[in-house]
Amino acid sequence: MSLPADNAPASRQAGVREESRPSLAALLIDPSFWADWASVVGLVGLVILFGVTSPVFLGVANMQAILLAAAILVVLSIGQTFVVATSGIDLSLAASVMLGAVILGLVHAAGLGIFAACVLAVLATSATGFMNGVLITAGRIPDFVVTLGTLSGITGLGLILSGGEPTMVGSTFLLKLASGYLGPFGYPVWVAIAAVLVAHVALYHTRFGVHLLATGGQAESASALGIRTNRVKIAAYTISGFCAGIASILLVARIGSAEPQINTSLLLNSVAAVVLGGVSLFGGRASILGPAIGALMLTALVNGLTLLSVSAFYQPLAVGVIVVLAALIMRYQK
Amino acid sequence: MSTVNHIAPSEAILACQGLSKHFGGIRAFTDVGFQARRGEVTAVIGDNGAGKSTLIRCLVGVHVPDGGTIYFDGRQHPFSNPDEARKSGIETVHQNLALIDELTVAQNLFLNREIVRRIGPFALLDRKAMKDQARAMLSRLSINVPSVTQRVRRLSGGQRQAISICRAAGSGAKLVVMDEPTAALGVQETANVEALIRKLREQGVSVILISHNFDQVRRLSDQIWVMRAGKMVATVRSSETTGNELVALVTGAA
């Protein structure tokens, strides 16, 4: 074990210098590496496990099915990542998806056209996120209380608006969105890829991204330096709401109708994907690729278990175990 | 005991007259007059609760004083928030509010004044320029850190304080205000930070230093102001005073 000793003097030497890249062996014995890459390691592990046990799993058709099924969760995980990066949490995410879907369905049924319906759905969920942010910052109410309240409130609103009934959405645009392919991937997958790229640039290559991480890291220090931390937090919740809106369009396209029902596993899995992706729940540390791969991993897990004919009742159990394990590994993050 | 004497306004980088601040029924200080000369290190000393930190916070815009006037760089300047003070050229190194642990050295040095490249309607961070300039800023003040891409969390207390001071000085500030810059540091780290403060003065930056450490104040500063129980009670040239005199002024035994 000469590697840590080799690296040690470098940090004591005078002058500003670049860190030497640690070797692969040093990386592999570093628990922090495993914490940062938990989602990738988990995904590779699952692919090997299911690839060996189920011949269908690695087939092109199944891979495409996993990617399609993961698209919604990837988009939601990105929204959740922005909020968690500010050391908050958005529990209203899945309810927002439902509200977006209901509004999409109702506006479309009213004959305003599919584009107006999609835009209004996204506006409504973004407004929900904005309201979350304002209540948390200006109202000084803890994030989980506000978003739990919003969760209940917009669940009720969705039920009231829809009368508890699903609305069929027969739209060729949504049908194409759900079933069309461009190259190897379906359109929903491209939407998710675009969301990942935009979010990655926003987080790592803009002032907003740095301010977001600073706000999540030490809000008081950040505001002492003139960063408007309340605005940053409101923006994060609004982004989360926006992502919920995009997800609601993908969801309605996928199932062909707008249902006033909340898919609670979407909410839990969005938090799970964020944890698996190495994002610190205490804020200040985040990536976009990590949660996206985490979302992919959770989808692959459900897919693989289904292929192995494991009862659906075991799936939440498996997700729970993996998430707690991931959180345990996170303790070793530097 | 020396009297509080006034200097010509053009000599003062920062001055205040008749300044008062209270929080509800509790008065932090009343009728305070104070000047910091351009290009000097000016120290403010006093016992816990004497009002030093609150005075400084009023001078740099964190608190708005209840009465009195503040002059900065020859002009009357009531700052209503730290951002305004910063834009006018006052940088503050806060006691606890220093750096963001999870960000890198370079990110911290450029926090809220990031260098961006405009690409159409978008402004993207110029990370290379920030890293290069961060290295230049650190070496100008002879500050040693392993790498500007390292997270601040992994640095020692002395390195962190040096980076805070570097950030304050690095933006071309006319005045750097430091609240107990060596409070939590070891002997060697304290010596390094003191050397850094001397270096700032050599480079023509005015410094206001709040400290409990009378020896440090006499080593570093040119002028010392003494606060006691919410009043500015004395000011002396550092070269003309002794540790005993300072203790007497602070405790009121003189």
Residues of A in contact with B62 (CB under 8 A): 224
Cβ pair B73, B88 in contact under 8 A: yes
pLDDT of residue A329: 77
Q: Kindly state the tokens that stand for B32.
A: 């305070």
Domains of chain B, earliest start first? 9-99+174-251 (3.40.50.300)
pLDDT of residue B153: 87
pLDDT of residue B187: 85
Which letter does DSSP use for residue A43 in this model? H
How far is Cα A299 from Cα A117, in angstroms, rounded to an integer? 28
pLDDT of residue B1: 39
User: Beta B90-93 vs B26-37: how paired, if at all?
Assistant: unpaired
Residues in chain B with pLDDT values less than 50: 1-4
Which DSSP string do the residues of A96-134 spell out, in sequence order? HHHHHHHHHHHHHHTTS-HHHHHHHHHHHHHHHHHHHHH
Cβ pair A86, A280 in contact under 8 A: no
> How many residues make up chain A in this entry?
334
Q: Which amino acid is at A17?
A: R
CATH topology of domain A54-330: ABC transporter involved in vitamin B12 uptake, BtuC (1.10.3470)
Q: Given an 8 Å threshold on Cβ–Cβ distance, is B124 in contact with A205?
A: yes
What is the rounded average pLDDT of the residues A85-91? Answer: 95
Number of C-beta neighbours around residue B12 at 10 A: 22
Instruction: Provide the β-strand partners of residue B20.
Output: B67
Q: Is the pLDDT of residue A57 over 70?
A: yes
pLDDT of residue A152: 95
Instruction: Spell out where B24-127 has E strands.
Output: 26-37, 41-46, 67-72, 75-76, 90-93, 116-119, 122-125
pLDDT of residue A221: 87
Q: Given an 8 Å threshold on Cβ–Cβ distance, is B111 in contact with A222?
A: yes
Q: Spell out the domain ranges in chain A.
A: 54-330
pLDDT of residue B126: 94
Q: Is the pLDDT of residue A4 over 70?
A: no
Banded model confidence at residue A3, pLDDT cuts 50, 70, 90: very low
Q: Kindly state the tokens that stand for A72.
A: 């919604």
- Burial letters A50-84, b for 16+ CB under 10 A, else e: beeebeebeeeebeeebbbbbbbbbbbbbbbbbbb
Best probe of the A interface among B103, B107, B127, B192, by most A CBs < 10 A, is: B103
Q: Is B185 exposed, middle or buried (0-12, 13-18, 19+ CB in 10 A)?
A: buried
Q: Is the pLDDT of residue A192 over 90?
A: yes
Nearest by CB: B147 against A14, A16, A221: A16
Whether chain A has a CB inside 8 Å of the CB on B136: the answer is no
- Checking phi first, is residue B176 left (phi over 0); if not, alpha (psi -120 to 50) or beta? beta
Q: Which amino acid is at B70?
A: I
Q: Is B144 exposed, middle or buried (0-12, 13-18, 19+ CB in 10 A)?
A: middle
Find the farthest-apart pair of alpha carbons in chain A and give their distance in angstroms, rounded: 71
pLDDT of residue A7: 36
Q: Is the pLDDT of residue A20 over 60?
A: no
**Range with lowest mean pLDDT among A86-100, A234-248, B59-73, B118-132:** B59-73
Nearest to A70 by CA among A311, A280, A304: A304
**A window 4-63, beta carbon within 8 A of B:** 10-11, 13-19
Q: Given an 8 Å threshold on Cβ–Cβ distance, is A206 in contact with B125?
A: yes
Q: What is the model's pTM? A: 0.85
Nearest to B54 by CA among B30, B76, B84: B30
- Checking phi first, is residue B24 left (phi over 0); if not, alpha (psi -120 to 50) or beta? left
Q: Kindly state the tokens that stand for A275.
A: 């944890």
**B window 26-65, beta carbon within 8 A of A:** 62
Q: Given an 8 Å threshold on Cβ–Cβ distance, is A334 in contact with B111?
A: no
Q: Kindly state the tokens that stand for B88.
A: 């006018």
How far is Cα A55 from Cα A59, in angstroms, rounded to an integer? 8
Q: Write down the mean pLDDT value for chain A.
A: 88
Residues of A in contact with B107 (CB under 8 A): 210
pLDDT of residue B97: 63
Q: Kindly state the tokens that stand for B2.
A: 């020396």
pLDDT per position as a tens digit, B1-46: 344 455 555 688 999 989 999 888 888 899 999 999 999 999 999 8
Q: How far apart are the first and last CA of chain B?
A: 7
How far is Cα A183 from Cα A325, in angstroms, rounded to an integer? 36
Cα angle value B124/B129/B134 (rounded, 5°)? 120
**CB proximity list for B5: less than 8 A, separation 6 or greater:** B235
Q: Is the pLDDT of residue A9 over 50?
A: no
**Range with lowest mean pLDDT among A31-35, A146-150, A312-316, B212-216:** A31-35
Q: Given an 8 Å threshold on Cβ–Cβ distance, is B149 in contact with A19?
A: yes
Q: Is the pLDDT of residue A106 over 70?
A: yes
The tokens 């990370």 sit on which residue? B127
Which among A14-23, A35-44, A244-253, B42-51 has the top mean pLDDT?
A244-253
